[in-house]
Amino acid sequence: MKQFQYMRPTKQKAATDAVAKDPTALFIAGGTNLIDLMKREVMQPEKLVDINMLPLKKIEQRNGSVRIGALVSNSAVAEDRLIVEKFPLLSQALVSGASAQLRNMATVGGNMMQRTRCYYFYDTALPCNKREPGSGCGAIEGINDQHAIFGFSENCIAVNPSDMSVALAALDATVLLSGPKGERRIPFIDFHRLPGDQPEVDTNLMRGELIVAVDVPESPYAQNAHYLKVRERASFAFALVSVAAALDIQNNTIQSARLAMGGVAHKPWRLFDAEKALAGKPVSEESFWQAAEVAMRGAKAFEHNAFKLKLAPNSIVQALKTAAGIA
Amino acid sequence: MTKERMTQVKMGDPLSRVESLLKVTGGAKYAAEYNLPNEAIGVLATSTIARGRIKNIDTREAERAPGVVAVVTHENAPEIPGYSASVDNEGSRVYGQEFRLFFDGTIYHNYQPIALVIADTFARADQAATLLKVTYEEESHDTDVRNSLDKAFKPERHDDYSRGEAGAYKSAPVKIEQEYQTPIQVHNPMEPHVTTAVWEGDNKVTVYNKTQATKISQKEIAKSFELDEENVRAYSPFVGGAFGSSSRVWPQEMAAIMGAKVTGRPVQVVLKRNQVFNMVGYRPRSVQKFSIGATTDGTLTGITHDAYGSTSQYEQFTERLLDPTKTMYSCPNLDSRYKLVRLDMSTPCWTRGPGETSGSFALESAMDELAYALNMDPLALRLKNYAEKDPENDKPWSSNYLMECYEQGAERFGWSKRNPEPRSMREGDWLIGMGMASGIYKAARDRAVVRAKLSPDGSLLVQSAVADTGPGSATIFTQIAADVMGTAIENTRFEWGDSTLPYAPGQFGSHTTASVGSAVYEVCTALKQRLQQLATGTASAAMQQAGPDELVFENGTMGLKDRSASLSYGEILKQQNLPQLEVIKESEGGPLLDEYSSKSFCANFVEVRVHAATGEVRINKVVSAVDAGKIMNYKTAESQVYGSVVWGIGIALMEEGKIDHRFGRHVNNDLEKYHVPISADVPEVDVILINKPDPVVDPMGAKGIGEIPLIGFTAAVANAVYHATGKRIRELPITPAKLV
Ligand SMILES: Cc1cc2nc3c(=O)[nH]c(=O)nc-3n(C[C@H](O)[C@H](O)[C@H](O)COP(=O)(O)OP(=O)(O)OC[C@H]3O[C@@H](n4cnc5c(N)ncnc54)[C@H](O)[C@@H]3O)c2cc1C
């Protein structure tokens, strides 16, 4: 690991200025992702700007939404009374991630910014366009069992590993950013990027910009929501495929649906067309299969991840059935 | 020291580990925790290619980095006399040329150490290691067993085995011909490999390492550096798991010793997790062609087993893939071959249940397939082919309670309620399946020496160089000594993990209790005889005449059975003015051992659930019935079964060292990506210990228990998955990707 400088500002401005001015500087929150990557020499910041002294640790009820500070720990969000009541999907997604110890350290902002778990990204001896632009994608013809079936490019087929982000994408959250040029808001689903020809850029965050909070709008989905995470061991593993499913059901008819997948793309994969296909349909396994079929349009597999073409639709149906209470 | 509480213990009692307090309070010191004065830290830089040569290694920037003391490479490494000596294949445990650290610029595998960067702190050494500039002359490599089966060869240290007619299964009315595969698995003990080395002068070195065999460490290091064995001390009382991976000397030991030589300071070297995957052993991948035939009533008529393993370019590592096939069932015709493929990888190493674990996956899966082909209950097929004596050599079993394992295991599990039809049991979205398998594992015994010292205060010290890497050997030896001598457990102390203590074999191969335990038993028996001889005075006359049956040794005293006379051990020593009474005893199995075949046995019963939509497999229930002879300590014995079951779940469902063969490099070499079971994967495990003494192996009646429950376990899971889903998975691990 490379040695680095460390600072712990108490003012937000000082933090964003420090990172804006120094292209080798990075924020550090819980450190559960960044430190690991530094140890593997995948990321080599020369300065760490520790943001833990900033006052971003609150969850507040606002008019029509709940605001979650960027430094609230993953476990605090998952256990929060408001969240459990209004957004069980988010709570479930968080609890399904990592381990209790990690969730205690990990923060909302850090979780959104966590980097891919692609094998090739993690090993500096192997090619990876995300780590080292121009070096090639090791996964495309390599071991790609964990990789994308949607939205990939010839430069990168990595997937975003976050569970929390899949739920937030489904719930139409908004991200609050603050940077040297002031504050701005972007829809959560526009926060992460597809790889295109710049796979080294994971998100639309600009240098020096800090995630301040996430706003989650009130919605009618609390009753019928389920986060399904599929993995070969019972816990403490990233998703092979995950599904965030939320339904507004009245008189056994789906009024509207929210659906997103994890483990299938470079960003949380919101399934707008499938949501549309569900709206107005009766609650039935058949409706869910139709939606799954729509959801899978355009999916394409590589040598080792073809199983996802079957696992993904199966998981969508399973998640919807569970959300609807007919599993 | 005589203490307040005086507890008499017997062999078999569920005593807690003697070192548990030290372990839970942080008092147990592991090899990286000695913090010797002036200690420097070495970090190994490793190769990024699988085969070729180092063209150039530029160390200048690293040498100039803050805190750096030295950078050792093949260009400046001190000469290791043993490296130029001719290859000693007689004395070495693996055939071939051992790996020679920093010997020349040849690269044999990825992650091969190419430099040791030594600095005053870990962070500085680690940073400086990033500053090395290395260029290679790369050669094409091969890391894929599958690619090279046609180049496989018969290893030097292996004889193919056959009995009866070869290929007899072919003419059987019912037969199975299949191929089974197991991937690379990595021991991944929690404590990575580590050594702290310190020289005293030029000829004497102390090595704080993690090892399963202080005596092997001592011998191998002495050989390499041409030192007298007594001038090499391997000290390793606490080991954070090893599972076979610390059964020989590895690069981190050699690097620390070399580094300490170069710098004149104590040097510590800890491997990083990714380095552990391809430097210090692993269970090699296996490809096994397995065929089995039977008559329509289920009588086995022929087995043909062709197994392929792999090894490095410089050594021939062999393991016992074929052993269960040879000995598990009565079958008149059997032919088997074992071949190795040379790969550009580091040498594999024994891994819990070495060979048998992979081999039994093929055998016990094929038995299940055969049972279905015969339309016969899988357990009934095994009962039908029960071997009354060892079919490999026709020797009688020294003891065999496999039938009891089957009966009690099946009963506890509820096997009779199983509907044999695949996919016939369901709970909601989960398909339920039940499977079983048998296991067999050698019950060996080796030479060991133990010293016992009795003090006038009545306390007993027993010493052996043996390691205790976690299974509880030290506890059992304390217990044997206390039981045989009749000393209170508080007055009995066992000392271990130090090569300066009397000789012990390595703690592997499930033979530690039989080997060292016997020596403890015998040294204490000899000590009692000495006490009887020494006792004088009026009270003792009768005791000296007494036959062994008339004397009792309990509560720290020797006395006549009828209680008419007794003397405490302390008094006997005081009578003779002895500051201490010391007895040393060498112990070895007698000729009887050769007349019998000694094995441990088990039957595993597993219930799984498989999610119908996602293919996720979870284990609902495990019953593991084990014949390991006399159980020396119920608590540690059960823990060994739990440990094996957890291993079995890992190997069956998730463990797999993945290599990108284009680069010859592991891609999932950390514990986030290489999965082992977590608590939620492990259901309640019902352990049945038959607990009947073996009359031959050792005086206690114990057989090994550390590996037997793992043998066949993965097949029990695969068989249960078949029963649940109707899908036969012949390549481990059994993941959702294969089932969805
Ligand atoms: C073994 C293991 C298993 C895991 N399993 C899962 C899992 O199953 N599911 C899952 O979702 N996650 C999992 N995780 C990942 C975990 O959720 C993340 O590591 C964690 O959420 C990161 O949060 P942090 O606060 O520690 O981030 P840090 O490591 O501190 O930071 C990560 C990145 O975010 C940036 N950053 C942090 N805060 C901000 C901010 N406010 N504004 C802008 N940038 C910021 C940092 O600069 C850095 O680049 C696992 C992690 C490990 C180590």
Check if B200 contacts A (Cβ < 8 Å): no
Average pLDDT, chain B: 96
Q: Testing the interface with A: which of B114, B131, B138, B660 to mutate, by most A Cβ within 10 A?
A: B660
Check if A145 contacts B (Cβ < 8 Å): yes
Reported as a single tens digit per residue, the pLDDT across A133-164 is 999 999 999 999 999 999 999 999 999 999 99
Q: How far does residue B32's CA lie from ligand 1's centre (Å)?
A: 29
Residue B538, pLDDT score = 66
Please state, in angstroms and rounded to a whole number, the distance separating the CA atoms of residues B252 and B279: 9
Tokens 């020496």 label which residue? B449
Work out whether the CA dihedral B245, B248, B250, B254 comes out positive or negative. Answer: positive
Please state, in angstroms and rounded to a whole number, the distance separating the CA atoms of residues A167 and A18: 32
Check if A182 contacts B (Cβ < 8 Å): no
Reported as a single tens digit per residue, the pLDDT across B33-84 is 999 999 999 999 999 999 999 999 999 999 999 999 999 999 999 999 999 9
B220 is catalytic: no
For ligand 1, say whether the CB of A111 is within 6 Å of any of its atoms.
yes
Domains B34-140+190-242+246-276 and B286-444+594-739 share a fold: no
| Partner-chain contact B613 A126, CB within 8 Å | no
Reported as a single tens digit per residue, the pLDDT across B161-197 is 999 999 999 999 999 999 999 999 999 999 999 999 9
DSSP notation for B61-76 = HHHHSTTEEEEEETTT
Q: How far does residue B590's CA lie from ligand 1's centre (Å)?
A: 61
pLDDT higher than 70, residue A200: yes
Confidence band, pLDDT 50/70/90 cuts, at residue B543: confident
Which one is catalytic: B139, B177, B707, B731?
Answer: B707
Q: Testing the interface with B: which of A120, A123, A232, A315 to mutate, by most B Cβ within 10 A?
A: A232
Check if B653 contacts A (Cβ < 8 Å): yes
Binding-face residues of A in 34-53 toward B, CB within 8 A? 40-41
For ligand 1, say whether the CB of A97 is within 6 Å of any of its atoms.
yes
| Partner-chain contact B429 A117, CB within 8 Å | no
Counting one residue from A and one from B, how many pairs have CB atoms under 8 Å apart? Answer: 97
CATH number of B20-27+446-588: 3.30.365.10
Give the mean model confidence (pLDDT) for residues A193-205: 98
Domain ranges of chain B: 20-27+446-588, 34-140+190-242+246-276, 286-444+594-739
Check if B428 contacts A (Cβ < 8 Å): yes
CATH 3.90.1170.50 for domain B34-140+190-242+246-276, yes or no, is yes
Please state, in angstroms and rounded to a whole number, the distance separating the CA atoms of residues B393 and B395: 5
Q: Testing the interface with A: which of B68, B278, B672 to mutate, by most A Cβ within 10 A?
A: B672
> β-pairing, B425-427 with B315-316?
unpaired
* Six token digits for residue B669: 């070499």
* Six token digits for residue A268: 């949380």
**Cα B620 to Cα A182, B432, B433, B605, distances in angstroms:** 55, 9, 9, 11
Check if B657 contacts A (Cβ < 8 Å): no
Number of H helices and number of E strands within chain A? Answer: 12, 12
Residue B1, pLDDT score = 45
Please state, in angstroms and rounded to a whole number, the distance separating the CA atoms of residues B649 and B682: 8
| Partner-chain contact A237 B675, CB within 8 Å | yes
| Partner-chain contact B653 A125, CB within 8 Å | no
For ligand 1, say whether the CB of A161 is within 6 Å of any of its atoms.
yes
Q: By 3-state DSSP, what share of chain B in percent is helix, strand and coil, each rounded to 5?
A: 30, 25, 45
- CATH class of residue range B286-444+594-739: alpha beta
> Using an 8 Å Cβ cutoff, are B720 and B608 in contact?
yes
Q: How far does residue B15's CA lie from ligand 1's centre (Å)?
A: 44
For ligand 1, say whether the CB of A113 is within 6 Å of any of its atoms.
yes
* Six token digits for residue A276: 């549309």
Average pLDDT, chain A: 97
Q: How many CB atoms lie within 10 A of CB A288?
A: 28
From B678, which residue of chain A is nearest by alpha-carbon distance?
Answer: A235
| Partner-chain contact B667 A126, CB within 8 Å | yes
Q: How many CB atoms lie within 10 A of CB B70?
A: 21
Choose one of A111, A160, A164, A236 to mutate for the ligand 1 pocket test, by most ligand atoms within 8 angstroms of C-beta: A111
Q: How far does residue A214's CA lie from ligand 1's centre (Å)?
A: 15
* Six token digits for residue B478: 């304390």
Residue B4, pLDDT score = 65
Q: How far is CA B139 from the centre of its chain?
A: 35
From A122, which residue of chain B is nearest by alpha-carbon distance?
Answer: B667
Reported as a single tens digit per residue, the pLDDT across B674-714 is 999 999 999 999 999 999 999 999 999 999 999 999 999 99
| Partner-chain contact A233 B737, CB within 8 Å | no
Please state, in angstroms and rounded to a whole number, the distance separating the CA atoms of residues B624 and B639: 12
B443 half-sphere exposure, CB direction, 13 A CA radius: 32
| Partner-chain contact B681 A310, CB within 8 Å | no
Å from B79 to nearest chain A CA?
30
Residue owning the nearest CA to atom 31 of ligand 1: A110
For ligand 1, say whether the CB of A220 is within 6 Å of any of its atoms.
no
Q: How many CB atoms lie within 10 A of CB B544?
A: 12
DSSP notation for B79-103 = P-HHHHSPP-TTT-SSEEPPP-TTS
Residue B564, pLDDT score = 87
For ligand 1, say whether the CB of A208 is within 6 Å of any of its atoms.
no
Å from A167 to nearest chain B CA?
20
| Structural domains for chain A | 224-324 (3.30.390.50)
> Using an 8 Å Cβ cutoff, are B418 and B692 in contact?
no
Confidence band, pLDDT 50/70/90 cuts, at residue B541: confident
Residue B2, pLDDT score = 47
pTM exceeds 0.95: yes
From A99, which residue of chain B is nearest by alpha-carbon distance?
Answer: B678
| Partner-chain contact B736 A311, CB within 8 Å | yes
Comparing CA positions, the residue from B263, B252, B272, B207 lying closest to residue B67 is B263
Number of H helices and number of E strands within chain B? Answer: 20, 31
Q: How far does residue A99's CA lie from ligand 1's centre (Å)?
A: 12
Amino acid at B136: Y
For ligand 1, say whether the CB of A109 is within 6 Å of any of its atoms.
yes
Comparing CA positions, the residue from A77, A138, A70 lying closest to residue A104 is A77
Q: Testing the interface with B: which of A117, A233, A321 to mutate, by most B Cβ within 10 A?
A: A233
pLDDT higher than 90, residue B583: yes
Residue A295, pLDDT score = 98
> Using an 8 Å Cβ cutoff, are A72 and A58 in contact?
yes
Reported as a single tens digit per residue, the pLDDT across A255-271 is 999 999 999 999 999 99
Please state, in angstroms and rounded to a whole number, the distance separating the CA atoms of residues B208 and B186: 23
Check if B660 contacts A (Cβ < 8 Å): yes
For ligand 1, say whether the CB of A59 is within 6 Å of any of its atoms.
no
Continuous segment of H or E residues that includes residue B348: none
Reported as a single tens digit per residue, the pLDDT across A86-110 is 999 999 999 999 999 999 999 999 9
Reported as a single tens digit per residue, the pLDDT across B367-418 is 999 999 999 999 999 999 999 999 999 999 999 999 999 999 999 999 999 9
Tokens 């071959």 label which residue? B337
Residue B537, pLDDT score = 73
Q: How far does residue A239's CA lie from ligand 1's centre (Å)?
A: 15
Residue B552, pLDDT score = 94
* Six token digits for residue B455: 């003090």
Please state, in angstroms and rounded to a whole number, the distance separating the CA atoms of residues B276 and B242: 12
Each residue of A133-151: b (16+ CB within 10 Å) or e?
eeeebbbbebbbbbbbbbb
| Partner-chain contact B653 A314, CB within 8 Å | no
Reported as a single tens digit per residue, the pLDDT across B486-532 is 999 999 999 999 999 999 999 999 999 999 999 999 999 999 999 99
For B544-552, the CB contacts below 8 A with 24+ separation are: B552/B486
Specify burial of residue B310 (Cβ count, 10 A radius: 0-12, 13-18, 19+).
Answer: buried
| CB nearest B613 (choices: A138, A145, A318) | A318
Q: How far does residue B149's CA lie from ligand 1's centre (Å)?
A: 44
Q: How many CB atoms lie within 10 A of CB A258?
A: 25
Confidence band, pLDDT 50/70/90 cuts, at residue B5: confident
Specify burial of residue B212 (Cβ count, 10 A radius: 0-12, 13-18, 19+).
Answer: buried
Residue B547, pLDDT score = 82
> Using an 8 Å Cβ cutoff, are A98 and A167 in contact?
no
